[in-house]
Amino acid sequence: MLDPAKPSVVEMPKVVCSGDKESPHPRVFLAITDQGFVDCPYCGQHFVLTKGNPSDAPH
């Protein structure tokens, strides 16, 4: 099971989450905001952007 207390550190401002083998959920595409993080609305997984600015991302 994913542990929302342990953030997933990512380098790109767009992420995909589908849970894990024990507790899957529909695949969701998430965009990290200027705050530098986003939480999955299904499982609560916390994604943190390590470098770059989300507004610099290609659209």
| Within-domain flag for 3 | no
| Within-domain flag for 1 | no
Say how many domains are in the chain: 1
Mean pLDDT across the stretch 35-57?
83
Closest CA to 57 of 17, 28, 15, 27: 15
Mean pLDDT across the stretch 27-54?
90
Closest CA to 42 of 30, 50, 31: 30
Answer whether residue 38 shows pLDDT above 80. yes
Q: What six digits make up the tokens of 36? A: 């530098």
Mean pLDDT across the stretch 7-28?
94
What CATH code is carried by the domain that includes residue 27? 2.60.260.40
Confidence grade of residue 59 (pLDDT, cut at 50, 70, 90): very low
Closest CA to 3 of 50, 52, 32, 39: 39
| Within-domain flag for 2 | no
| Within-domain flag for 14 | yes
Q: What six digits make up the tokens of 2? A: 């994913």
Answer whether residue 28 shows pLDDT above 70. yes
Containing structural domain, residue 35: 8-56
| Within-domain flag for 17 | yes
Give the pLDDT of residue 23.
87
Mean pLDDT across the stretch 12-22?
93
